Amino acid sequence: MKLAVAFVSFTFCLLSTTSATPVDQKSRGRKIALNKRQTFSGPNGVDTVALQNHLSHVTSKIKKGLTAYARNTGQRHAFEHAVASHRHMNTKNDKHLSAEKRSAGANALMDAGNALWYGTIKVGTPPQSFRVDFDTGSSDLFLPTLHCSVNCAGHKAYDHTKSSSSKSSSKTFNLHYGDGSQVTGIQYEDTIEIAGMKAHNQTLGAADSYSSGFANDRFEPDGLMGMAFKSISDYHAEPVFSSLITQNQSDEAMFAFKLAHDDSELYLGGVNKALYKGDFTWLSLTEEAYWQVHMDGVTLDGTLVTDNSTSNANVSEASIPSNLPHHSAPSGASTLTSSKKIAAIVDTGTTLLVGDSKTVERIYSLVPGAQSAEHYAGPGFYSFPCDATPDIGLIFNGTEFKIKKSIMNIGEDASQSDTNTGNSSASDATETRGNSDDNDESENIGGDNIHAHPKRCLGGLVGHDGNGIDPGLWIVGDVFLRGVYSAFDIGNSRVGFAALA
């Protein structure tokens, strides 16, 4: 989608030979140089309409997965309840994919002005190339077809008639999104190639209509490929990477992301040791559905500011110390432990850091000069003086991970363009954001006079009220992930974070 901030889409350059036979030579993926394709910031600041659409899409996507989970498993997911059920969330699927040594692939991610990171997969025999968004918050692959007539202009279409390995499953699909529209079409099976690895007989959706959120002016890639688990698949089919594992194509049952300003990549079949330093902080999955984990808490200026009382996942009475050692980069070493937890989904398809509205409101109430931006950016958004970006951290498994201020500050408040801010521009805000990590406090920090800071910026931490999902759920997106190296370990049912090299 065309967003003002990083709506994550991820790309692979698939540089391998193709074959019509099901027996493939094992081959390594290769990196592609990172290129920026477009920018979404301009002289008038952040596109708040795009931000609102993105937040709506994110919560809608989670609800869509919950519906699929109930249909696939016959049970309601713990995140579905708006009223706390106190359900224990430590059950795991018995089916763990083996991690036999096969092959590994590293592919650079395309950055579209901190709005889209996207890349390429190949589909069919002979292969057709498509740019797709790689999304750990969903599980299905879909592309437009030649017959797609709604919001498909500008996207490359999948032509199943030109693939000798394509076959129709005669099943339809219908994906609902937050803008009220849908992605509909027919399910096919075909060969999917990623970074030199091939998944045969892979289920994909061939869409004959796209929702407005996937129109080319808001979503540059051709389609989307989910990287979560089968239990939330609308097709009730194995996700592509799981198929690569079961078909013995991957070195390990693991993939990893670097989402940063330079040299971003998705690595399949393990981790790229050149891109991180120190040890990983590992988090066991509470269930194999989303990449869902427990978070210990949120800090402001190194002090815990969450009471963890709003999530369905809170199952203990232990408290967390109110002050923590500062860690400018994650080391993997635990600095505190607590059994009191917050439910969180790690989602590369989410630009923002999304938390429960009460906690987010409390956090911003402690930030000098911060105020609600609901009147122009929408519910859950807040602004603050551009030179006073809050110092936010997330605690996972006892380790505090600081979020860079230049990432937490997502851009200048566009509503100022016609006010007494004069000739302020997005480029001015960017310069201020870049300096904010070096200047932890402005001269007016601690005061209540917001007019002392004429330039105001929007925060990457936003609140949600549930609306069909657990109101205490946190969605950990790019605002956090751009500051760490993240590993998604299917074989051991866990997620890991490490410091970027």
Q: Give the 3-state secondary structure of 39-55.
A: CCCECCECCHHHHHHHH
pLDDT value at residue 107: 61
Band of the pLDDT at 179, cuts 50, 70, 90? low
Mapping DSSP to helix (H, G, I), strand (E, B) and coil, where does residue 71 land?
helix
Written as six digits, the tokens of 33 are 């140089």
* Peptide bond connecting 127 to the previous residue in cis, omega within 30 degrees of 0: no
Assess whether pLDDT exceeds 80 at residue 177.
no
Task: Please give the Cα distance from 313 to 246 (Å, whole number).
Answer: 32
Report residue 402 CA to chain centroid gap: 18
For residue 350, which amino acid is it? T
Cα 471 from Cα 487, distance rounded (Å): 27
Q: pLDDT exceeding 70 applies to what percent of the chain?
A: 68
**DSSP labels for 253-313?**
SEEEEE-SSSS-EEEESS--GGGEEEEEEEEE-SEETTEEEEE-EEEETTEE-----S-TT
Beta bridge partners of 189: 167, 203
Q: For residue 337, what pLDDT band results from cuts at 50, 70 and 90?
A: very low
* CB burial of residue 398 (10 Å; 0-12, 13-18, 19+): middle
pLDDT class of 325 with cuts at 50, 70, 90: very low
pLDDT digits (tens, 9 = 90+) for 34-74: 333 333 355 677 777 777 777 877 887 888 888 888 988 98
pLDDT at 363 over 90: yes
d(CA 499, CA 330): 5
Which string of DSSP letters, residue by residue, matches 310-362? S-TT--------SB----SS--S--S---S--EEEEE-TT-SSEEEEHHHHHH
**Partner residues linked to 293 by β-bridges:** 344
Provide the token pair at 40: 């979404």
pLDDT at 480 > cutoff 50 = yes
Does 421 have pLDDT greater than 70?
A: no
Tell me what the mean pLDDT of segment 127-155 comes to. Answer: 93
Specify the higher pLDDT residue, 391 or 72. Answer: 391
Q: How far apart are CA 347 and CA 354, in angstroms?
A: 10
Q: What is the mean pLDDT of residues 276-305?
A: 96
Q: What's the average model confidence in pLDDT over 120-145?
A: 94
Beta-carbon contacts of 441 under 8 Å, excluding residues fewer than 6 positions away, are 388
Average the pLDDT over each of 55-64, 80-89, 145-154, 263-272 and give the range with the smallest value: 80-89
Question: How much is the mean pLDDT over the chain?
Answer: 76
- The span from the CA of 191 to the CA of 297, in Å, is 43
At 501, is the secondary structure helix, strand, or coil? Answer: coil
* Pairing mode, strands 291-295 and 287-288: antiparallel
More confident residue, 417 or 133: 133
3-state secondary structure 185-199: EEEEEEEEEECCEEE
pLDDT at 461 over 60: yes
**Residue 325 vs residue 375, higher pLDDT:** 375
pLDDT digits (tens, 9 = 90+) for 132-142: 888 899 999 99
Residue 316 is predicted with a pLDDT of 31
Give the DSSP letter string of 423-456: T--HHHHHHHHHHHTT-SS-TTTT---GGG---E
129-138, 179-188, 412-421, 463-472, range with greatest mean pLDDT: 129-138
Task: Output Rg (C-alpha) for the chain, integer angstroms.
Answer: 22
The pLDDT of 329-356, averaged and rounded, is: 71
Residue type at position 296 = D
Scanning the structure block, which residue is given the tokens 């937890």? 341
Q: Is the pLDDT of residue 204 over 90?
A: yes
**Helical (H) or strand (E) element with 65:** helix 48-73
Q: What contacts 226, CB < 8 A, 6 or more positions away?
A: 135, 136, 137, 138, 139, 140, 141, 233, 239
**Residues 6+ positions from 468 with CB-CB distance below 8 Å:** 59, 63, 66, 80, 82
Instruction: Please check the confidence at residue 339 and state whether its pLDDT lies above 80.
Output: no
Does 215 or 329 have the greater pLDDT score? 215
pLDDT-based confidence at 239, cuts 50/70/90?
very high
Band of pLDDT at residue 432, cut at 50, 70 and 90: very low
pLDDT of residue 42: 53
Q: Please give the average per-residue pLDDT across 168-174, as a whole number.
A: 93
Q: Is the pLDDT of residue 226 over 90?
A: yes
Q: What percent of the chain has pLDDT over 90?
A: 47
Q: Quote the pLDDT of residue 65.
A: 86
Quick one: pLDDT at residue 427? 40
Least confident segment among 47-51, 119-123, 160-164: 47-51
Catalytic residue numbers, as ranges: 135, 347
- Residue 433: pLDDT over 90: no
**Most confident region among 112-121, 171-180, 238-247, 373-382 by mean pLDDT:** 238-247
Q: Encode 364-390 in three state secondary structure.
A: HHCCCCCEECHHHHCCCCEEEECCCCC
- Return the DSSP state at 78: G
**Average pLDDT rounded to a whole number, residues 474-479:** 94
Q: What is the mean pLDDT of residues 400-405?
A: 96
Q: What angle do CA 421, 423, 428 make, to 5 degrees?
A: 90
In terms of pLDDT, which residue wins out, 374 or 315? 374
Half-sphere exposure of 256 (CA within 13 A, CB side): 25
On whether the CB atoms of residues 277 and 498 are closer than 8 A, the answer is yes
Find tokens 């951290």 and name the residue. 393
Range 295-324 average pLDDT: 61
Residue 324: pLDDT band with limits 50, 70, 90:
very low
**Reported confidence tier of residue 391, pLDDT bands at 50, 70, 90:** very high
Phi, psi of 426 (to 5 degrees): -65, -35
Using the predicted structure, report yes or no on whether residue 290 has a pLDDT greater than 70: yes
Q: Which residue has the higher pLDDT, 37 or 490?
A: 490
